[in-house]
Structure 1
């Protein structure tokens, strides 16, 4: 059964649609869960539409379910927007029965009401009303709990009883309501195709002629184009009714790629209007609590650049992240005095606090809306408030602009080495309005991550010592510091021992893990010494001996991704990594050889090399991997994936006896 809620444009597994409210969150009113389901007649704005007759199906069922009809009709003609959904589906396997008989409908009780209209089953040509025999229960739906994000949405859990293969199960409902933060505007995105075929699909959206929407079809070509017509005071956009084929997704496509077609609607005239709409929410004003912190920062740091970083660190470190976004709290931030008293806040609260601190330090700053995963495609869509799920700060100092994210943890570096976020495009917020601006990624000349493994083999018996040193810089140090804050030194040491034990067998710590962290220069160094009982194993030829393992290098690609692609290929980005293996041999093993040999591999966006050298009984193998872009076009994917396979082979080294 389909689920009503935020559409995931990369998810093409089942029919779904709904609002795309971003996760900009802060506490307001939490809606009350209904005690029971409400049933009302089908609204009069809905079209009469029959499913296709049995035996006339165009498509073969997929996933154990045949979707006979999917009908979504939206209207903005009343005081609040209303969205009607009707689905008729037929299980054709026992697994399909479970899918069809159990479903969910998601809504936000803080400002939306849910009304059911039809719950019935058609079996052997007869219709059975299942209103009284179907169980509907309500529960909170917090899908991002592990990320400390609470939005207050609720789930209606619908359970049909006595569903059999071949039944046609029909249900319909309407969700009514407008987020109170948006009294005058609406924007939404409705899917026009799914990861399963639909025999008959109808989508309509009706708006007042006095406030007609802008609309745009996005993603792959849909089964038909949307048409617009006017009648009386209303303009209606219409898709179908029409059969829609399966839209199959590809692994490792960028998150901003729409892998199924959709219809985007918005009554914002331009991006400047969206910017102006947000501006009143991000005017922090002054407060004694903020001034006190700013005075302390100014007393401790004379340089404005250091003051800016100190304000950022305070916001990141002293205010824990917690997003409780109920009702209008999805858009309206808490003000600095409240955030400072609570000592927690979401991205909006942290942004307003950071702006207030910077303004108190006489540093110009403004908020900017971004989308953490879909921001690179911002300009492909219409101006709309639902284009964003995060907000950050753009600060100005000495003629330079700096992107600052108050929600990042354990970030290090001075202002000139601070890793700045790159979400593709950002929309600055100000009262005069602003257009989206491109975000430039931070450029660093030195490696983010360096690893060195120095293996000393003491005798032909294979007893050995491994000295491990990892040096993380800039973005690499930020990531390592964040990981350490979650796990701690002792847990990380155990992970190292497990990791090297999987490579070499019996291992033990001969020198505990040490960590040196210089947050100002943003360099973090980890060092550990490990004893190996016997590093040698039989060679695959059954005659020789070898020591073999894989260096810790990131893979630039996902090896499971499709080679022949329609969509771009995501790369592991950014990566600037070096690794070194140093092997010291006893005289009895002086004639052993180390593989692989030196190699240089390059495709657009990826550079990889290995360099091997020898000085007496010491053999050194150096690796370098550089990934300088986030994705590649489809026609370059096969070469990049092939190179990724080669890299995975070359990062495995073998020391082999004669």
Structure 2
């Protein structure tokens, strides 16, 4: 408790120092500078006005920046029209953010234009300057201020226009020019104007993104004047679910950094390892050196010390946004942000003789950072790159305490990193490592009998990042995690109840964590109301998540996928006796994922092993590939899951995927076929046969031959091809009803005058055989293979007479 109080007092003292360092947080009012080009919000657009969105029409977005020897000044001029009550709420509220440690705010104008008449409101407006730390939830304090204005008497149809300037640039960039302006938005904008003025003596590189618009360039008074102007810019709506790195909006970037090597030269003085590290930090380095002789052990020890003992808290005020704090200070106060913790690790490893360097990355746009022009603002995070034992390691000191030796530590991969070391000339690829796998083994023990509860044991092993995350959850709220897992499985098995405590097995050196859950499932076997049989569905719960169908196939943006994601799920079912089970094996390959599914019954028929594997191959699906992706997902989903069923206790049981809706009759079809064909043999023994037999005997022969051959073909086909039950039962009922009517009543089902009757007579050379026509009518409504087999079987019997 005492240490917590000390930490709080230290933090408050830092805030007091920040406030003392910051300039007065007030704003001032005045006219715009002479260099600003006036742009009217009422200038008629070059084409038809765009449809508004959200109750607001965006009339003007005017952004102008001027760079001089002192820094830069940015002028912003905005005009919006309120189209309904919701629009009034939006346009009547104005918020302007700035950093008082190096910036000053000047308000130039706040106007309300109603029916073409301009009413100045700046003098009467109530401006409140507030300190809103928007990133405190992320443990970041940046000292920024917000000037907030709430206008009175704004009505539907009014235009609210305001203009202001922010003067000053962050001294950490040493007056180097760098900036970016948007040319496209998620809302339509009628008029957009962007302007950049830089001294002619200073080279600036212009980099457009998703835009072919070229700037108008003018030179006057020793300044280069770049201008971009657009009218009626349509909205660009990006589909939800896009990757974080996807940014299709047009923009223009400018930078005075010639290349990435120049960015490295700017950053190296900020991230130089501290030689005079202080007594406390030196003793800690010496302790690690004594306890760990090998370099890998020393690296892991330093990383774990910083992760465990230095909590994350960033005071990123002014230059602190990009300049780290001295390692000795960070170690003494026991907190720091990513910059602070990275430099602390690098300083300690340098003292231990290990090659380590800070590495700048962007966790949001990841590999897309390579499309940016060189600038320090392209990055939002700092890692440590370590070279030891001939290998490279990318370590994140801000992560919660990681377990495992150096080889098994989770290492992030953001595509590219800018390593801050002498001689670095460009971005370095972060070679991705094999994705850690989540392995699930589910055991259903139904060996006690169909009437008994089934034992259900789930053993799940997490590796790498998954193990790190799970450890945090177990420490913070194990009881809630247990409840979440139980509810997850209870959605599939209503009778599920816990059967013991959650067991945790931590293989720390390999950074693998295993959970063992034990349940009992009552009512595992359920009576099907339609089929009258006992059924049990086996679900592969973990692999079904990434196989979920996308909300829409037609997209204008890539679809984000979890990556890396590697799941192996093995389900074992133990049965009370030998069951009739079939092997299955299938695979699905897509550009974004691969999936495999296998059913392997045991040789004794008393158990079955079902294996499903999913591995993501990409972090996204391109819009043009969505059709194939959705089709492959559907194919994989139809494989997942298995159903066991039996008509009555003791019957043989077949297995199937529930999506296939049944795998045939419980008794093998070929046995029924033999039984039916025996009818044909029986009638040849009991009744005279051949053309010399009495007419009434020939008629009976014909009917019995039809019954035997048709039933034999039908049941054999059902048994051998595993026609789903939803087809076989209706077909059997219709055929048996038809045969009974013809056998006992001789009622023709198709009139002799019907065209199909004449066709059959020509085909078979028969004068009169309504049964042929009945079969033809039925066959046309059945699956092709079954229908033609029935007709062929009957024709063979008739023509052989």
Sort the TM-score into its range (normalised by shorter chain): 0.7 to 0.9
Distance 2:585 2:440 in 1: 18
Partner of residue 397 from structure 1, selected from 369, 388, 395:
388
1:453 paired residue number: 442
1:474 aligns with 2:461: no
Q: How do 1:526-545 and structure 2 match up within 5 A? A: 526-536=515-525, 541=530, 543-544=532-533
Distance 1:466 1:556 in 2: 23
Distance 1:544 1:135 in 2: 76
Shift in Å, 1:466: 1.6
1:572 aligns with 2:559: no
1:385 aligns with 2:385: no
The 1:47/1:607 distance shift into structure 2, 3 A limit, reads same
Distance 2:329 2:175 in 1: 28
Q: How do 1:555-594 and structure 2 match up within 5 A? A: 555-556=545-546, 559-560=549-550, 563-586=553-576
Shift in Å, 1:241: 4.5
2:3 paired residue number: none
Q: String of CA shifts for 1:504-530, please: whole Å, max 9, x gaps.
A: 235432211111112211111111212
2:769 paired residue number: none
1:129 paired residue number: 120
Given that 2:540 and 2:569 are in contact with CA atoms closer than 8 Å, whether structure 1 keeps it comes out as no
Given that 1:272 and 1:435 are in contact with CA atoms closer than 8 Å, whether structure 2 keeps it comes out as yes
Given that 1:33 and 1:138 are in contact with CA atoms closer than 8 Å, whether structure 2 keeps it comes out as no
2:109 paired residue number: 118
Shift in Å, 1:503: 2.7
1:247 aligns with 2:236: yes
Q: String of CA shifts for 1:269-326, please: whole Å, max 9, x gaps.
A: 2211110111111112232333322222222222222112212221222222222211
1:514 aligns with 2:503: yes
Given that 2:460 and 2:516 are in contact with CA atoms closer than 8 Å, whether structure 1 keeps it comes out as yes
Q: String of CA shifts for 1:531-569, please: whole Å, max 9, x gaps.
A: 334335565857555444451137447854653445444
1:48 paired residue number: 38
1:72 aligns with 2:59: no
Aligned-residue Cα RMSD (Å) equals 2.8
Q: How do 1:221-232 and structure 2 match up within 5 A? A: 221=211, 224-232=213-221
Partner of residue 308 from structure 1, selected from 291, 294, 299:
299
1:268 paired residue number: 257
The 1:592/1:156 distance shift into structure 2, 3 A limit, reads farther
Shift in Å, 1:417: 3.1
Partner of residue 603 from structure 1, selected from 590, 603, 614:
590
Equivalences, count: 625
2:735 paired residue number: none
Shift in Å, 1:198: 0.8
Partner of residue 336 from structure 2, selected from 345, 359, 370:
345
Given that 1:551 and 1:651 are in contact with CA atoms closer than 8 Å, whether structure 2 keeps it comes out as no
Higher Cα radius of gyration: 2
Q: String of CA shifts for 1:322-373, please: whole Å, max 9, x gaps.
A: 2221111111111221111122211111111111111121111111111112
1:631 paired residue number: 620
Distance 2:41 2:530 in 1: 65
The 1:614/1:484 distance shift into structure 2, 3 A limit, reads same
Q: With CA pairs under 8 Å and 6+ residues apart, which has the higher RCO, 1 or 2? A: 1
The 1:50/1:194 distance shift into structure 2, 3 A limit, reads same
2:660 paired residue number: none
Is the partner of 1:477 in helix, strand or coil? helix
Unpaired runs of 5+ residues, structure 2, are 1-13, 648-801
Distance 1:651 1:392 in 2: 40
Given that 1:583 and 1:620 are in contact with CA atoms closer than 8 Å, whether structure 2 keeps it comes out as yes
Given that 2:416 and 2:427 are in contact with CA atoms closer than 8 Å, whether structure 1 keeps it comes out as yes
1:279 aligns with 2:268: yes
Shift in Å, 1:59: 1.0
1:374 paired residue number: 365
Is the partner of 2:627 in helix, strand or coil? helix
Shift in Å, 1:58: 2.3
Deviates more, 1:108-117 or 1:387-396: 108-117
The 1:97/1:356 distance shift into structure 2, 3 A limit, reads same
Partner of residue 436 from structure 1, selected from 427, 448, 451:
427
Give the TM-score normalised by the residue count of structure 2: 0.73
Deviates more, 1:531-540 or 1:390-399: 531-540
1:164 aligns with 2:155: yes
Shift in Å, 1:227: 2.7
1:14 paired residue number: none
Shift in Å, 1:472: 1.3
2:629 paired residue number: 640
1:59 aligns with 2:46: no
2:799 paired residue number: none
Given that 1:185 and 1:267 are in contact with CA atoms closer than 8 Å, whether structure 2 keeps it comes out as yes
2:397 paired residue number: 406
Deviates more, 1:556-565 or 1:513-522: 556-565
2:682 paired residue number: none
Is the partner of 1:118 in helix, strand or coil? strand
2:98 paired residue number: 107
Is the partner of 1:495 in helix, strand or coil? helix
The 1:215/1:657 distance shift into structure 2, 3 A limit, reads farther
Given that 1:252 and 1:558 are in contact with CA atoms closer than 8 Å, whether structure 2 keeps it comes out as no
Given that 2:440 and 2:568 are in contact with CA atoms closer than 8 Å, whether structure 1 keeps it comes out as yes
The structure where strand makes up a greater share of residues is 1
Deviates more, 1:648-657 or 1:55-64: 648-657
The structure where helix makes up a greater share of residues is 2
The 1:645/1:102 distance shift into structure 2, 3 A limit, reads farther
The 1:561/1:336 distance shift into structure 2, 3 A limit, reads farther
Is the partner of 2:410 in helix, strand or coil? coil
Given that 1:410 and 1:481 are in contact with CA atoms closer than 8 Å, whether structure 2 keeps it comes out as no
1:552 aligns with 2:542: yes
Distance 2:262 2:306 in 1: 29
Give the TM-score normalised by the residue count of structure 1: 0.88
Is the partner of 2:270 in helix, strand or coil? helix
The 1:484/1:653 distance shift into structure 2, 3 A limit, reads farther
Deviates more, 1:362-371 or 1:129-138: 129-138
The 1:597/1:168 distance shift into structure 2, 3 A limit, reads farther
Deviates more, 1:74-83 or 1:27-36: 27-36
The 1:461/1:63 distance shift into structure 2, 3 A limit, reads farther
